[in-house]
Structure 1
Amino acid sequence: MIVKETSSLGKLIIKGVPKEKAKCMIVENHYSHKWCDGGFGKYNFGIFRAEEPDKCLGVAVYGYMKNPKAKIFTHSNPQAWMCELNRMWIDDALGKNAESVLIAASLKLLRKADPNIVAVQSFADGRLGCGTIYKASNFRYYGFHYTRFLRNKRTGEMTHEQILTTTTSATGYLRSNIAYLIGDLEVLRVKTYRYIYPFCKHFRFVSSEKPYPPYEKGIDPVEWKRDTTKIKQNIVALLDKVAA
């Protein structure tokens, strides 16, 4: 537990919270409304007002990278691994700068929880901005890549491109690709900004650090050319599997 005295937010407590509590808060309140059971929530920290120590007003969720085995850094510790700040949400009732307080305190708690964590990675969604909060929290910037999202024209739901390209989740692949084939999905491109907070000087990322990006946010419609014949073949094969 960390107790933080602030001039504008009052006395705050940052402490660990159960995974199920963090999951419920993220699914209900985070703009994505999504949680990945495979990698999210190995460590979860909540923020509370000292006068209401049982009323959680936000959570920072730390878990595994999308590809935990990816060789994207070097370190002298053979057990070293890089954690990821998967999700964060804070109630507006807490006020300005609460995000910075939660990040700073949860990073300290994370280091104590697992000494083999040598860095924390997080990504800023270009739909919301370029990651100003990470700059304020002294994360280092390592560039951006483009991510495709698909918006359902009927429901407005946003889907990451990954669900349309992997058959790991058969039902997800079927639903999303049928929607794609019948023209229900609008393809959009977003910048995804990578930020890393190293815990020690021995950590080395595979690419060089870059100057912080200028402020920008937005989303652009794009074309996505795909092999529709292969998609149809996959759908038929998966239907037989699901309906068997």
Structure 2
Amino acid sequence: MGRAKEIIVKVIPSNIANDFIKKYHYSGKVVQNSKLHFGCFLDGQLHGVMSYGSPLDKRKVLPLVHTKEDKPVLWNEMLELNRMAFDECLPKNSESRCIAVSFKLIKKNAPHIRWILSFSDGTQCGDGTIYRASGFVLTGIVENSNTCRLPNGEVIHKMTLESSPLQPRKELGGASYYALTNGKYNFNKYVKAVKGAILKGYQLRYINLIDKTCGITVPIIPFSKIDEIGAGMYKGEKITILERKNAKEV
């Protein structure tokens, strides 16, 4: 693992984490409900950030994991890893080590947390290489038609609109999402109004059980399925897992 063992992972203030995310995350955006931020330091310099928080829609994700008594985990007993960004300065295997250390810190300081959820953006970024290397299991692959590219190049996700439907939006001339849709969720109407284009791709859902006595209630999908359905992506490039493996062996 080399110098990856020398990385220090510790909690950092949200303003420092958010500034780093805006600079290094491919979206350039933070998630407003991120509450717990870990910084990854090497030689005293910040080179990575992992932000955890509650999912935007708890009702859909809580049934994914049950306790050993076969009851749903409570809303405050899980976290979503909803932003992760690293610069190019860290050594190989740094990301998976940082995730592992953050899990240990969560388990020590917040022992009520039972599981971690995360999503991989196979439309713009990748299919979850780091999650697979960090012991997550794949529990969902869905075609993604919830992302829109505006004429100015900005990318907007449907959940951004639906989580703050009354917020004025510059692309709507200051009107809110609800003002456009008459108080309804209507992403297609928004896309048409802003003259945007739907980005096609996949979203992949990963789960990691911190509490090993819990159980996942949905089928675990073999990683080979990613290539089978054409969902492979790495650093924004459509490429299969097999192609990446073969390239390393050359």
Task: Give the Cα–Cα distance (whole angstroms) in 2 for the partners of residues 101 and 95 of structure 1.
Answer: 11
Deviation digits for residues 147-189 of structure 1, max 9, x if unmatched?
3211112x11111123456772341373676873456201122
Paired position in structure 1 for 2:54: 64
Choose the corresponding residue for 2:198, options 179, 187, 192. Answer: 187
Does the 8 A contact of 2:4 with 2:97 survive in 1? Answer: no
State the shift of 1:69 in Å.
Answer: 4.2
State the Cα RMSD in Å: 2.7
Gaps of 5+ in 1: 1-5, 221-244
Residue 85 (str. 1) matches residue 81 (str. 2): yes
Does the 8 A contact of 2:103 with 2:210 survive in 1? Answer: no
Does the 8 A contact of 1:124 with 1:194 survive in 2? Answer: yes
Of all paired residues, the percent bearing the same amino acid is: 30
Residue 48 (str. 1) matches residue 41 (str. 2): yes
Choose the corresponding residue for 1:128, options 125, 131, 139. Answer: 125
Task: Give the Cα–Cα distance (whole angstroms) in 2 for the partners of residues 180 and 192 of structure 1.
Answer: 19
Superposition pairs for residues 205-224 of structure 1, below 5 Å?
205-212=216-223, 213-215=225-227, 216-217=232-233
Choose the corresponding residue for 2:15, options 20, 29, 49. Answer: 20
Q: Counterpart amino acid of 1:190?
A: G
Paired position in structure 1 for 2:248: none
- 1:166 to 1:194, Cα distance in 2 relative to 1, 3 A: closer
State the shift of 1:88 in Å.
Answer: 0.7
State the shift of 1:30 in Å.
Answer: 0.8
Q: Which has the higher strand share?
A: 1
Q: Secondary structure at the match of 1:101?
A: helix
Instruction: Give the TM-score of the pair, scaled to structure 1.
Output: 0.75
Paired position in structure 2 for 1:142: 139
Deviation digits for residues 1-39 of structure 1, max 9, x if unmatched?
xxxxx42446221111112211111122211111232x2
Aligned length: 209
Does the 8 A contact of 1:150 with 1:158 survive in 2? Answer: yes
Paired position in structure 2 for 1:118: 114
Task: Give the Cα–Cα distance (whole angstroms) in 1 for the partners of residues 203 and 191 of structure 2.
Answer: 23
Task: Give the Cα–Cα distance (whole angstroms) in 2 for the partners of residues 87 and 65 of structure 1.
Answer: 12
Task: Give the Cα–Cα distance (whole angstroms) in 2 for the partners of residues 92 and 15 of structure 1.
Answer: 19
Gaps of 5+ in 2: 181-188, 239-250
- 1:139 to 1:151, Cα distance in 2 relative to 1, 3 A: same
Asked which structure has the greater RCO (Cα within 8 Å, sep 6+), the reply is 2
Bigger-Rg structure (1/2) = 1
Does the 8 A contact of 1:48 with 1:57 survive in 2? Answer: yes
Task: Give the Cα–Cα distance (whole angstroms) in 1 for the partners of residues 81 and 194 of structure 2.
Answer: 34
Runs of 4+ in 1 over 4 A off after TM superposition: 76-80, 163-167, 175-179
- Segment drifting more, 178-187 vs 104-113: 178-187
Does the 8 A contact of 1:58 with 1:88 survive in 2? Answer: yes
Deviation digits for residues 66-115 of structure 1, max 9, x if unmatched?
22344322224875622110111111011322111111111111111211
Task: Give the Cα–Cα distance (whole angstroms) in 2 for the partners of residues 36 and 201 of structure 1.
Answer: 28
- 1:183 to 1:27, Cα distance in 2 relative to 1, 3 A: closer
- Segment drifting more, 137-146 vs 70-79: 70-79
Instruction: Give the TM-score of the pair, scaled to structure 2.
Output: 0.73
Q: Secondary structure at the match of 2:55?
A: coil
- 1:201 to 1:16, Cα distance in 2 relative to 1, 3 A: same
